[in-house]
Structure 1
Amino acid sequence: MFSSKKQDPFFTALLGIAETVREATHYADDFKIVSVSDLKELSIKLKNYETEGDKLIHDLILKLNKSFMTPIEREDILYLANKMDDILDGVEAFAAYLEMYSLIDIDDSMRTFLHYIVKSTDEIVKAMELLANKKLLQMREHAILIKDYERKCDEVLRTSIKQLFINEKDPIRIIQFKDIYEQLEDIADYSQNVANTIETIIMRNA
């Protein structure tokens, strides 16, 4: 139903949002935290990504308001954009809480969460590239992978909280680490919401 000869500005905008999300998660995953001052740097940088995401959403809304025709339902375009932006918000909140807690001990559980979150955002970008090229059916395999990474994060959450209560004796650190684990699981859930939205778009338009 789509002409594949020309890039659609709405699909291009969605790809831009996805690329910003991917860049932010890669930055968080690659960033080396050694001291409390590093936490401030991380928090500021991810806040900048979050602000850039808000600007991209705003620009997309302006495009939608000015356009009479859209390649798919305008509600689906905006919903997909907002679900991707939720990931940015979640990553920014994760960094903010690390700074608030002065928590420089990034443990294996956090690294594993971030590993799967990064892989999910890689798949989101691949899906948006396919959408930009009007290859809707091929997006499904990426949505499936994102959901699989979210299931893996569920397992990490259960295991990490169990080990936390077994090994950690300081109640304050238990509260802090549990909070961070749950925030990271929320980000994985946001990625799954993107996958669900992708599948809805495929169902309605392919």
Structure 2
Amino acid sequence: MNSIFSYFIPKDKKFFPLFEKASSNLMDMADKLEALVNSDPSSDREKLHKEIERLEQKGDEITHAIYLELSKTFITPFDREDIHQLAAALDDIADYIHGSSNRMLLYNVHLMTEPVKKLGELVKEGCKEVYKAVSELKDLKNIRVITDSCVRINSIENQADYVFDKAVGELFDYEEDAKNIIKYKEVLSALETATDMCEDVANVMESILVKNA
């Protein structure tokens, strides 16, 4: 089946380099996010916010390039619907990483709490596994690498759920300022949702494996 599948892959392999660029860009965004949540309040956080925004725009350009190639290509390496869903899921991760950064900036969140830092770490771990899995899609020779990464992504998302739920519970128990409750809940929610989007990518890749491996 793999040999038959490889026969139909377009020789130019336009989609795979674009997917790798998209997932690599997510790694860069996650690095900046981790630096942001671990930065000192007196540091130049504005620079990190702007860099995350720049990378999010770069991700949008890559997504549009994938959609353009999809509209022009007759024979695709796997189902057109899966290509579209994978591109959209990768873009969603970028959107929520940017959204997390944006909420920190707009809501003047200066103190980065331990749950915020932990979720930032989990987002980075999720993006790392997404990159590893996406990089193996080009020939499907290392299916175990993809499946292992998908399992780890699911575990990361479960950890993020726990951190989020515990952090929100503690906000309601110990925080007296309603504004702070709203601000931190919004930031925590965006970070946790970024890990949900990593899980969406894993689900799409598992679907691709079922159909083609």
**Range of TM-score over shorter length:** over 0.9
1:26 to 28, 31, 34: 31
Aligned AA (2:93): I
1:203 equivalent to 2:189? Answer no
In structure 1, what is the Cα distance between the partners aligned to 2:12 and 2:188?
39
2:188 to 174, 181, 186: 181
Q: What are the within-5 Å matches in structure 2 for residues 1-206 of structure 1?
A: 1=2, 2-3=5-6, 8-31=13-36, 32-35=38-41, 38-135=44-141, 137-138=143-144, 139-206=146-213
Could you tell me how far 1:23 is from its partner in structure 2? Answer: 0.9
Could you tell me how far 1:43 is from its partner in structure 2? Answer: 2.2
Could you tell me how far 1:169 is from its partner in structure 2? Answer: 1.2
TM-score normalised according to structure 2 size:
0.90
2:170 is paired with a residue of what secondary structure? helix
Could you tell me how far 1:30 is from its partner in structure 2? Answer: 1.9
Aligned AA (1:166): D
In structure 2, what is the Cα distance between the partners aligned to 1:115 and 1:177?
17
- Name structure 2 gaps, 5 residues minimum: none
Could you tell me how far 1:37 is from its partner in structure 2? Answer: 7.6
Aligned AA (1:69): I
Could you tell me how far 1:164 is from its partner in structure 2? Answer: 1.4
Query: When the two structures are aligned, how many residues end up with a matched partner?
Result: 206
Q: Identity rate of aligned residues, in percent?
A: 27
Aligned AA (2:6): S
8 Å Cα contact 1:33/1:104 also seen in 2: no
8 Å Cα contact 2:22/2:62 also seen in 1: yes
8 Å Cα contact 2:89/2:197 also seen in 1: yes
Aligned AA (2:32): Y
Aligned AA (1:184): L
1:132-167 Cα distance to aligned partner (Å, 9 max, x none): 232362211111110110000010011111111222
2:6 is paired with a residue of what secondary structure? coil
- Name structure 1 gaps, 5 residues minimum: none
8 Å Cα contact 2:41/2:111 also seen in 1: no
Q: Which moved more, 1:125-134 or 1:89-98?
A: 125-134
TM-score normalised according to structure 1 size:
0.93
Aligned AA (1:48): R
In structure 2, what is the Cα distance between the partners aligned to 1:182 and 1:20?
22
In structure 2, what is the Cα distance between the partners aligned to 1:47 and 1:36?
21
In structure 2, what is the Cα distance between the partners aligned to 1:204 and 1:186?
27
In structure 1, what is the Cα distance between the partners aligned to 2:51 and 2:194?
18
Could you tell me how far 1:35 is from its partner in structure 2? Answer: 3.8
8 Å Cα contact 2:78/2:212 also seen in 1: yes
1:112-135 Cα distance to aligned partner (Å, 9 max, x none): 111111111101111011112323
